[in-house]
Every structure is written in C-alpha cells, then in structure tokens.
Structure 1
Amino acid sequence: MKNFIFIIFILLLVHELKAQSITFGEDYLDLKSSAQGVRIPQMSTAKRDSIPNPPAGLQILNTDDFCLDVYTGSQWSKLCGQEEYSDSKMPDRPDQTLNKWLFKTNYPNAYSSRVNAFTIGKYAYMGMGISSSGGANEFKKYEPINNTWESIASFPGANRNLSKTFVLNGKGYLYGGRNGATFLNDLWEYNPETDLWTQKASFPGAGRIRGAVFVINNKAYLGPGLNNPLVINSGIKDLWEYDPENDSWSQKANFPGTQYGYMACFTAGNQGFMFGGYSDGTGISGNAWKYDPRLNQWIQLSQVPDISVIAIGINLSGNGVIIDEYLGTTRRYDHTQDSWEIIADDFQGSRGDGVAFSIGKRVYMGLGINITTNTFLSDIQELVIDNTLNSYRALKPVIQDAKISEGLWKVDGKRMFLEPAPAQKVGIGTSNPATSLEVKGTLAATNWLEERRKSNDGFARMGPLLIQWGLVTYESNNTKTVKFPVSFEKLLSITATVADYYSNIASNVPVKIVNSTNSVFEIGGTKVFSTNVNYPAVHWMAIGY
C-alpha cells in the first residue's frame, strides 16, 4: 500500500512539474526549471534536532525564524541573517606560502592576553582579555577580506578573564570566567544583527575556568575545568548540555578521564573531541577523548603526540586542528582514522594564553603573552592549509641515478612515496611497497637532523650511534619513569635539565637520573622549584648504540 501511495505521489509531482526537468539518482532527485520553485521540508528547531544522524548538506526551512538551515557535518548552519564568507573573495596566497603562518594586521587593543573569540559568517569577534594594567570588556570585529578591525558593543557583564565562547544559530555566547577570586557561571548571548548582548540562563554547575566546550547539533556542551588553579586535583569533571531553543541546561555523563583543565576541544562527525590538558598528579596529559551525545558516552582515543599544556583546538572543514602555542606546531586530526598529521611547524610560538579561530578554510592564531620575556603580544597570524593533504613538505631526498633532487612526500596508508617521481616509487614505512626502485648509487636525505630536531620526543641514528631525546613533565620532588622511544642495545650516557620555559625559576638546572636501563630511566625529584610550580618540565638526552 505504501509503495502504491508513493507511486501516486511521484505521478502527481511529475504532473505538477511538467515544465521542469526531473532526474532520479540513486539517492537524490534533481529538478530544473526556469518558472517554478521547490518547497523543501518545513519544521521547527526541535523537530530538526530530532533527525537521527543527519547527512552533511541536508536542508530544511526552519519555521521558528523562517531561515534555511543546512547541516555542515558537525552542526546546523543558518543561511539567513548574516553575510556569508567565501574563500574566493580572499587575497590569493602563493603556493609556497600554503601551510605557513603569515602575519596580518595586529589586534588594536592593549588587552591582548586571555582574549575570547568566536566566528559568525565572515567575521571573527574578539574581546575581553587582560594586560599588565588590568582587564577590559571591549570587543572588536575582524573582517579578513580587507584585513580590518572595528569596534562593536562592549560586554555588559562583570569584568572577567578565562571565559569560554561558542556559537549557536548565528549568535555568539560567552560563559563564565573569573573575576578576582570569584568563579562565574553566567551565560551571555551576542546578536550580530542588533549588536546587543543579552543575559541567558546561568550555567547550573560550579563556576570554572579553562574548561572544555564544543557544539554538536546546535547544542553546546560545557565540561571539565578548574575552579581553583592553585590547588592540585581541583578539577571539575561534570558535563552539561545547553539548548538555546528553551534556554535550558541538562546534565550529561561525567568525564571519566584524569585531565581536567586546559583541554583543546573541537567538533567533528557529530561528536565532541577533547585533547591534552592537566592530569591529576601527573602534569601535562597527552590523553584524548571523544563524547558521543547519542549514547551519552565518553570514548578514549589515541594519545596526542608532542603536545604541551598550551594548546588550542578549533573546528575546520569537518575536522579538528590543534595549535600548540609553545611548541609552534599545528596538527590536523582525522576523526575517521583517529590519526594526526603536522600541517605547519613555523608558528611563532613560545607563548601562552593566546587565541585561535577559523574563518572559512583559514586558521588564525595570535595574541597572548611571551613566556620567555613576559611581554604581551598583539600579533595575528593566518594559516592557509594545502587541502591536497595527506601530504606535506618534509625532507628533500637526493636519489642518485634516479635524478630526483627534491620532491613531495605523500602518505598512502602506512606507505610514503615521492611525487612527482620516476616511473616507479620508493616505499618507506612498509616491507612491501607497491613497487621498488633500484638505487645503484647512494640514497641521501639532507638536513635530516634539523627536521627531526623540531620534534619534542624522537631519535636519530648516525651510523652505529643512537641519539634520543624528549620532554617530560612530573610533579616536583617525586620520581618519574620515562620510556625511551626505542630501546638501546647499550646505553652510554643520559642527562636531564629543567626545561627553558621555566627560565624565571630554574632554567637548565641539572636533574638527577636515579636509575636507567636500555629501555627506561627514572628522573629524581628536585627542590629547586618554586612551591607554586607543581608540574615542572624536563628536557633529556641519551646516547648509546
């Protein structure tokens, strides 16, 4: 009976659209006409949000505001009430500047550390922040096509810093933060059409700073954070969902992991992702988790390689990007493979409390405070990613007889190869490459040491000699066991010193090695640190064969 009704519907549709061209695909209906239109499904926001697993590109007419809503793959986006951004309008970037950070117009505000940012349409909105003279409630709007700034309405709530922001239905939201010793839990909404701030229902959990936040299906999720950063294990691990339609909160499954602050977060594939942060009693954590709202469940993922505590996560084209402010590396995360790749490593880092955002397919990062000089920064840097990845410029091999002077390494599963290349390829990272290339001379890679040196943890072989190095964190006055990236046949020597970004207290002070084997070693505690530094970082280097 249902099939009969469907056939009658199609016949009537064809009759009504006789002036149109109709094409049936495997999973689509293509209509063409110069005189008629199409009436797409109409529903409220509540009905729209109840659609299970909406595919990217799904469209409905929202009867609440009469806007066309499109699902981007991670959230619903509105196509009315705001000027849309297009990368095609942006100034061209030469190919040689792809995957490289370039400086833009500086942020025109002295309060440039701990700044909040969110993106709506083609604009980035930034404000609050602190400087050496205090804090401010000013907000600015950045327009990337002309690379300009302009002032907008100041935030009307209490002065604060370390707040969190997110975007729902084309409106920006600012939550919480700290005012002196008070941890705030109020929520404010910014409407870019009216340039007005409106207070919304306060967050029902404890006030917190440096917490996790991500948006899934037009709902915001606020999670683990700190409510006393001077006390060890002071983290809060509850998770709350905010529904803008009802201006209401509901509690979800508590976070089961150990880290509780400074996490880098983003949304991909209808799930929220959370990386890094401080961990109970162990310092900087490389742990990674994702939250599935359909199951109300947390799932642990592969660890993040070489991440410091000073990292920021943002959404970009359906995937996530993490920018490490201190190390200067930028990584893109593929949520379908649970894998990472470095897409840029030249960000001018050695900073903390910066800000990051994306507009279209471009990434922006800057501001904060220089950790070495303790000066406030006002720079904004832009990154355009080469979306032909998975590929990145790395070593420049020289293969004699094959006459390859340089090339582009590309990744195909576990195999890496050069392209452009001769008729055959060089397989690396597998014992069975697709093809092989006979090399009669020598195979040399120049500048390999400089390339590997940019990694915090790694090793290099120089003939029979094996050199390994790393960065490790541990609680002061406790020992810490560290595993070498690869085991030595025989360990000859190992040294460790306090990392240079603790230069204001104990830079380069030697740290005692308590025990060592060919596969692990143990770092001893030290009393040279300030009592306020609970998680010192240590550089180590070992030599053997």
Structure 2
Amino acid sequence: MKNVHAYLIGAAMISTSMIVSQGCTKSTDDDSELIGNWKKSDDFEGNARSEAVAFTIGDYAYVCSGTATTERFKDLWEYSTSKRYWTQRADLPGAARNSAIAFSIGTKGYVGTGYDGSARLKDFYEYDQATDTWTAKAEFAGTARYDAVAFAVDGKGYIGCGYDGNYLKDLWQYDPTQDQWIKKASVGGSKRSAAMAFVVNGQAYICSGNNNGEIQQDLWAYNASADEWTEKTKIYNYSDDSYDDDYGTIPRSNGVTFVIGNYVYLATGENNSANNATTWQYDPITDRWTEKTGFEGTSRTGAVGFNISSRGFVATGRNISLTMDNMYELLPNDEQVDND
C-alpha cells in the first residue's frame, strides 16, 4: 500500500515585495537561467519523517504526525523564524498517523483523518495555541480517508478528495462556531488523492493529484460564498493563439505549496514514483505559471510546506532510500548560488 499525502498551507495572506509575472516563463533544461535560490535552513528537530501535516498560526508554523518506514508519529513541533529552533508541544490525541490533513482558523489549528497503519481515520481535533492543548471535535462527516486536501476560507475549514478504498472528489465544510460539518459542491474534474491545496487572496484552489496512477493536469478555484468551482488554465504542454506554455513538469502528487505575497509556489512531490524537483510560481491574477530554480535539497516527496513571516519553507519528506529531517527556504527572486 502506497501512503502519500497532500498538504495545506495557512490561509493568512502575507505581504512581500515581488516582481509581477508577465505571462509564462519557458521551462528550460539549463536551471542556471531560472530565478530563485533555495537556502538551507534550520533542521526539523523531531524524528525524520514524511507524510506529516503543517499549519500556521500567526508567525508560528506547526508540524505534526507523519511516518518513517513502519513507525508513525503523533508529536507536534512549533517553529518561528525569530527563535530559529523547534519546540515540542502537546501530542495529538488519538492514533499516530500519516497522510492526515491540517488547516488553521484564527488562533486554532485543526488536524484529522489519515492512516494509522491498519485503518483509515475520520477523527478530528482542535489545537489551542494559547494553552497548548487539544480538544476532540465532531468527527469528519465524510468517509474515513487519507491523502485528502484541506484549506480554510472566511472562518470555515474544508476537507475534500482523498482515498477511502476508492478515489474521491467530495468536499465538506467545517464550521468551528457550531462544531458542524456540511457537504458542499464536489471538486471539479476527476477524483483524486494526494493533490495540493492553497489559498491566495482569499481564493482557494486544488491542483493536480493522483487518480489510480494517472497524474491530474488541472487546477480548480473554489468560490466559497457561491459554493462553485471554476477550472483554470490546464497545467500541461499546450499552445493556442493567446499563449504558448511549457507546463509539462507542473503536474504531480504529494507535493507542497506555500504563499509569498500574491504568488503561490509549488515544489517537490512525485510523478508516477519519480520525484519532481521543479519549482513553479503561480500568479492567480494572470492565471499563468513561471518556472523558478528547482528544489536544491535532496529530491523528495511527502514533505511539508508552509509560509510564515513572509517566507516560504519546505521540510521533511522522503526519497527511495532516505527519510529526511532537513528544511529549506525559497528566496524566489534571488539569483541561484552554490549552497554547498
């Protein structure tokens, strides 16, 4: 059984000075022509792992759960760019797990679903940053699953897609004030697991993912107030009279996304078991992608990504022979330098 995971990046918008993308930058075999530099950052201080989850509250990032070979975790770790080290916090209640979901609303974080080594899960917990305590909340109202996606918009959380023995495309909304789940409009396109979700400028998106070995080549935007999905530009090699792209390395499963300013960054992950080291920047205004310098750490899948203090990070993950505990930061507008 292959256990993979999709990750949420916190919904709070972060401002930074960026260069506006004009259309599409062609993919190139010469990575030195691309802009962006990956900088080695502070190692994750828990056990090396993959398929963990991450959420952010203010200027703090939290990494929880995950797996290393046959061992699963339920520990929670906190990181800030000012402290430059990781602090262990209260363990997640319930079973140790991998391939769960997470999102944050205000000063609370939420973790649920996943796989405990023998069963798919649907329990759901709230983390209070102020008291470092967890509270069991209403169970997820959809089927028990792993490799789902999650995001938060306008004070509500959402869980969708994933795998419950079959691939899924349903979407469920969580209202923390009522501790209640409501079924919403299903995600457009195909069923999928291990997709990537992100929120930028108050708009939620679901990107790519896997359906029975087929990597999905699409991007969907969700209007929460209208409960409607809109397909954006396809993410594959395509050309017409309006533009010509080279998007063939964007589609993947089990990658990470994070937001810096008004742009989204997609990194790591896999495409049919081959790790994908390319990094792409998405501009939601133009609905176009620009390739950035490829991830400069060991190529990996099942990592976590998050943005805090106007900065984007990728941590943990695995490749064929290694489970990792290191972390890298993307400097999206810097020239590439040698990090050795």
- Where on the TM-score scale, by shorter chain, does this alignment land: which range? 0.7 to 0.9
Note the aligned Cα RMSD (angstroms). Answer: 2.6
* Residues 1:377 and 2:309 are matched in the alignment: no
> What residue number does 1:206 align with?
143
Alignment-derived partner of residue 177 in structure 2: 245
- In the alignment, does 2:263 pair up with 1:263? no
1:283 shift after superposition: 0.9
Instruction: Name the residue aligned to 1:302.
Output: 233
Q: Which of residues 107, 112, 131 is equivalent to 2:68?
A: 131
Any idea what the Cα deviations from partners look like across 1:183-232, whole Å, max 9, x if unmatched?
A: 1111101111100001111111101111121211111111111113xxxx
**Aligned residue in 1 for 2:261:** 317
CA distance in 2, matches of 1:107, 1:293: 34
Residue of structure 1 equivalent to 2:113: 176
Counterpart contact for 2:277–2:295, Cα < 8 Å: yes
Residues 54 and 63, structure 2, Cα contact 8 Å, conserved in 1: yes
Instruction: Name the amino acid aligned to 1:107.
Output: F
The AA in structure 2 aligned to 1:103 is K
1:334 aligned onto 2:283: yes
CA contact (8 A) 1:111 1:135 kept: no
Deviation at 1:343, TM superposition (A): 3.0
- Contact 2:218–2:233 under 8 Å retained in 1: yes
Correspondences of 1:218-297 after superposition (within 5 Å): 218-228=155-165, 234-279=166-211, 283-297=214-228
User: 1:335-382 CA distances to partner (integer Å, 9 max, x unpaired)?
Assistant: 1111111233243243111111111221110211122xx221111111
8 Å Cα contact 1:270/1:292 also seen in 2: no
1:100 aligned onto 2:47: no
Larger Cα-atom Rg: 1
Once residues 222 and 319 of structure 1 are traced to their aligned partners in structure 2, the CA distance between those partners, rounded to angstroms, is 23
1:166 is aligned to 103
CA contact (8 A) 1:76 1:218 kept: no
How many Å separate the matches in 2 of 1:184 and 1:137?
A: 14
Please list the CA deviations of residues 275-317 of structure 1 after superposition, one character each: whole Å capped at 9, or x if unmatched: 111136x611211111112221111111222133242223332
Q: Is the 8 A contact 1:178 1:208 kept in 2?
A: yes
Separation (CA, whole Å) in 1 of partners of 2:201 and 2:88: 35
- 1:286 alignment partner AA: Q
CA deviation map 1:395-450 (0-9, x unaligned): xxxxxxxxxxxxxxxxxxxxxxxxxxxxxxxxxxxxxxxxxxxxxxxxxxxxxxxx
Residue 304 of structure 2 is matched in structure 1 by: 355
TM-score, normalisation: structure 1: 0.50
Residue type of the alignment partner of 1:311? G
**1:53-92: per-residue Cα shift (whole Å, max 9, x none)?**
xxxxxxxxxxxxxxxxxxxxx9679xxxxxxx999xxxxx
Question: How far 1:145 moved relative to its partner?
Answer: 2.2
Matched with 2:21 is none
Are residues 1:143 and 2:87 paired? no
Change (3 A) 1:183 1:356: same
Retained in 2: the 8 A contact 1:210–1:225?
yes
Gap change, CA 1:142 and 1:261, over 3 Å in 2: same
The structure with the greater share of residues assigned to helix is 1
Shift in CA distance, 162/319, structure 1 to aligned 2, threshold 3 Å = same
Letter aligned with residue 230 of structure 2? I
Cα separation, 1, equivalents of 2:96 and 2:89: 17
Instruction: Give the partner amino acid of 1:301.
Output: K
- For 1:269, the aligned partner's letter is N
SS in 2 for 1:261: coil
- Does the 8 Å CA contact 1:111/1:128 hold for their aligned counterparts? no
Residue by residue over 1:70-125, the C-alpha shift from the partner in whole angstroms, topping out at 9 and shown as x without a partner, is xxxx9679xxxxxxx999xxxxxxxxxx8211112211222421122111122111
Q: Show structure 1 runs of 4+ deviating over 3 A.
A: 74-77
Q: Which residue of 2 aligns with 1:472?
A: none
CA distance, structure 2, for counterparts of residue 250 and residue 116 of structure 1: 23
How many Å separate the matches in 2 of 1:124 and 1:75?
Answer: 12
- Which structure is higher in RCO with an 8 Å CA cutoff and minimum separation 6? 2
Structure 2's unaligned 5+ residue stretches are 1-9, 17-34, 236-246, 270-274
Amino acid at match of 1:298: W
Which residue does the alignment assign to 2:272?
Answer: none
Q: Match for residue 404 of structure 1?
A: none
